[in-house]
Structure formats: structure tokens, C-alpha cells
Amino acid sequence: MALVGASLIGWALDFSCRYWLPKTLIFAKDDNHAEEIVRIAREVFGESNDFAKKITYRNTGEKPKELIKAFRVDPFPRIAVTVDMIATGTDIKPVEVIIFMRDVKSEGYYEQMKGRGVRTIPDADLKAVTPDAQTKTRFVLIDAVGVSETKKNASQPLERKKSMSFDKLIDQIAQGRRDEDALSSLAGRLAALDRKLSVEDRERIIETTGGKTPRDLANALLDAIDADKQIEVIDQTHGPAPTPEQENEVIERLVEQACEPFDAAPVRNLLKDIKKQTEIIIDDITTDELIHADFDLKHAEAKIASFKAFIEENKDELTALQIIYNQSYTTQRLTYAAIKELAQAMKNPPHHLLTADVWQAYKRLDAASVKDAPVDQQLTEIISLVRFALGYDKVLEPFATKVQQRFNLWIGREKKAGREYTEEQLGWLHTIASFIAANAEIGPRDFMEVPSLADRGGILKAREVFGTGLNAMLDDLQGALVA
């Protein structure tokens, strides 16, 4: 380790006119190497433990985030030794010296590591950390291992298989394809998909993959083909002098582990389906040509036919359809979960149906029977759509409109039965009805979590206002409004 001491002494001579040693960041090969460098740094300069610190993911006793903050804004530590925790992204402006005690194969990663020293800093902020510093006009890079001379892997775009469809690419990975171009391309597409996901789709993927998002899957693929990551795992597994066979074994294992989630057909099929739903195809080559000025009625007819076929195919499979189709509201209640399941099934292939699209198709074919448009992102609108398609309702209108009509009838029946409600109770009832219109059901937890109900005092206040008959009243009201 004489090389470490020599590098530190050479660096100190370069700043010999200053009493305070400049803030220095040293990149080590691994955690044990970092420990050794910290020990030597303290020994060379005859300083205490606060002078030089190891900042890695394996820090024991001290939290890495707190050490990074201290290195950024406090006079001590003067030297931070890391492996890759401060290699990218972490902005430590007072750093004036970077020492490489490890090689780096990736050109992009090397540039990011060097970038830790180029940050500018106001003179006052620099002096707060290094009292005898005047201004930061440069930084010193010490290459102790020849990192600047070794051949680097040129950065390449993630997408390297543009002509291959997502479905074909993910199937080939499942069938055993393991070349770097294919893995990189799949990672890029998964990362792009991750940015487009709705909350519901993200939850479905996490549940199907056992806790992983598309971003997690992409990162695993990229780590498996990253030369520096491979070297890090090889060193951790076999030490500093592995055989070629050991290196290949580790790399193959990393790749297999990254590809393993795609072996499961449910994972592949779900990713394919969601990818199709998020895709918007833009043709910027073909010249537009007006074929017909009216809405394509055949398209609307096809959309409605697809919706009716979907109902027929799933009337015995999906709980929400079973209840609506069989008019069994008195024996079984619609739940938000059942409606959500129905909405998701509609979106899935082969039908790819959205409530707003089917609603619009009905309006194009029979405008007189369709009133207003559905409320965006309100799943209960599907109830109105299904009832209209089955012929149970003669008019297609937003579910909230139907709920308000039924609420007025319910209030009328209550009056006839001799149950009069105070102004305070009516205020509660209107709020409850609005919630049911959007969610099809209501429970005690909703009174505590939904702002419109919690702001009124929650479940405790509701029980005070309605007394012991609250639960029975809610059950009766829900049945009347959603039937």
C-alpha cells in the first residue's frame, strides 16, 4: 500500500502553501480497500479518526448520509474514501482533490466520477469548510492506478434493437437470449414503460412480480451487463485474483438472475398488455388525406359490439357483471374492488375497452338516449354503461345523476315512513350519497380517511348525529342508491 502513501504525500506537496488540507475524495476498489486507505491516511498525516472517513454502503456505527453532509458543509472530515457511493449524483462542491485508487471500465461512469471535482462554490462557502482557501479555480485529479490510460467501454444508447417489437424481445429473453444488445434494449423499454404507468398498473406489476417495478427489472438488467458492477461482484465473491472461469460464472449468474422474472408467463403477459395500453403510435411520414368528414359509424358499431361481446364472455366470471347481469343487488352488493376488477378486464386484450370510448360510441349512434359525458377516472360510470348495454336503463347518463335521483326517492320513502331528518343529518346524507356515487360503497374507515367525511367529525360524529341506527341506515341507503 506504499502507493497510497505516496499519492497522499504528492497531493499534500501540491497544496503545501496552505495549512488546511483541501477536501479530498478517494475512490477505492472495495470496502476493505477503503478501510485500508483510511487507516493509511490517518497514519500519514498523524491525525485523528475525524480527519479521514470511509463513506460506503457498509458503514458501521455512522450513517453514510450524515457523513456525506459533514464532508460537504463541515471542516471535518478532510478526506472521504468511497467505492461508488459518491461516484455519481452526490454534489460536494468543496472537493478540490480526487484520487483514483481503482480502475473504471465504463467511459460514462468515469466521466461522472471525475465530475465530482468540477463543481463551483462561492468563496464564502469554501472558506467555511476550508478556512485558508481563497477561491476554487481548479481541482486536482491524481491517477494512482492508470485509470486515465486504460481502455473504456464507450457509452451506448440503451435501445439497440429498434426494429424488434417489445413482445418478441421479452419472449426471446424468456427463451434464453442473453446478448448484451437484447438485455440493454429490454431495460430501456422497461424504464420508459415505468414512466407512463398509472398507480393501478404499477400495483398490478408489483403484485405479479413479487415486489418489483419495471424500473427495478430494468436496473437489474443494466447491472448485469455493466462491466464495473460485474467486477465489483467478482471481487466480493472471489477476491482480487479470480480465474477466468470464476469471472464467467459470476457474470452468467448476474445475467440469469436479472432475466429470471421474465421466465414467468404471467409477468410477460401483463407487461405486454400494459405496454400496448400505453403506446401512442405517431405516424410522421405518411401524408394525411381526408377520406370522410363524418364520424365512422362502423367504428362506433364495432366498439359497441366488442363491449357487448365482452359482457357476454365475462358475465359468469366477473363479480360486478354477475351482480348487474342477474340484478342480484338484494343478495350481493357491488364493491369498489369488484368494479375496479371489471374496469381492468375491459382494458385488457383482446377488447381494449375504455368507458369513455364506449360511451362516446353510444352517443354517436343514438345521441337522444345519451345524456352528458362520464366523469373522468370515476370507475362507477361503468355501472351505468353496463346497465344501458343490457337494456335495464333506457337512458345512458352519469352514475352520479342516477344516484341523485334514487337519493331523492329514498328521502321521500323515509318521510312516508315517518323518519324525518334534521338539517345536520341531511348535510351528512348528501355527503355520504356523493361518496357512494363515486365508490359504490361506504364503510367506517371511509369516515376517517375521506376529507369530506373526516372534516365533518368522522365516524364518531356520525354516530352521534344518527345514533345506534347508523349502520342499518348506511346499509339501506347503499342498497337503494346502487341498485
pTM tops 0.75: no
CB-CB contact of 29 with 102 (8 Å): yes
Kindly state the cell numbers that stand for 69: 453532509
Distance CA 229, CA 18 (A): 38
pLDDT for the residue numbered 206: 93
Strands 24-27 vs 79-82: parallel, antiparallel or unpaired? parallel
Q: What is the pLDDT of residues 237-294, one digit of tens each?
A: 887 778 878 888 988 899 999 999 999 999 999 999 888 877 655 444 555 555 554 4
pLDDT given at position 159? 58
Q: With bands split at pLDDT 50, 70 and 90, how would you rate the model's confidence at 92?
A: confident
- DSSP track, 320-379: HHHHHHHT-TTTS---HHHHHHHHHHHHSTTT---HHHHHHHHHHH-GGGB-S-PPTT-T
In 3-state terms the chain splits into helix, strand, coil percentages (rounded to 5) of 60, 5, 35
In three-state secondary structure terms, 142 is strand
What whole-number distance in Å separates Cα of residue 378 and Cα of residue 358?
Answer: 15
pLDDT digits (tens, 9 = 90+) for 15-70: 555 688 999 999 998 888 999 999 999 998 899 899 999 998 777 678 888 888 89
Residue 158's pLDDT band, with cuts at 50, 70 and 90, is low
Q: What is the pLDDT of residue 118?
A: 83
Q: Which helix (H) or strand (E) holds 80?
A: strand 79-82
446: Cα separation from own chain's centroid: 26
User: Cα–Cα distance between 442 and 458 in angstroms, integer?
Assistant: 13
Rounded to an integer, the average pLDDT of 163-190 is 86
- Structure confidence at residue 10 (pLDDT): 52
290-304 residue pLDDT tens: 555 445 688 888 999
Q: How many CB atoms lie within 10 A of CB 413?
A: 12
Cell, residue 343: 374496469
In angstroms, the CA 402 to CA 438 distance is 12
Q: Cα–Cα–Cα angle for 186, 178, 262, nearest 5°?
A: 55
Q: Are 27 and 102 in contact (CB under 8 A)?
A: yes
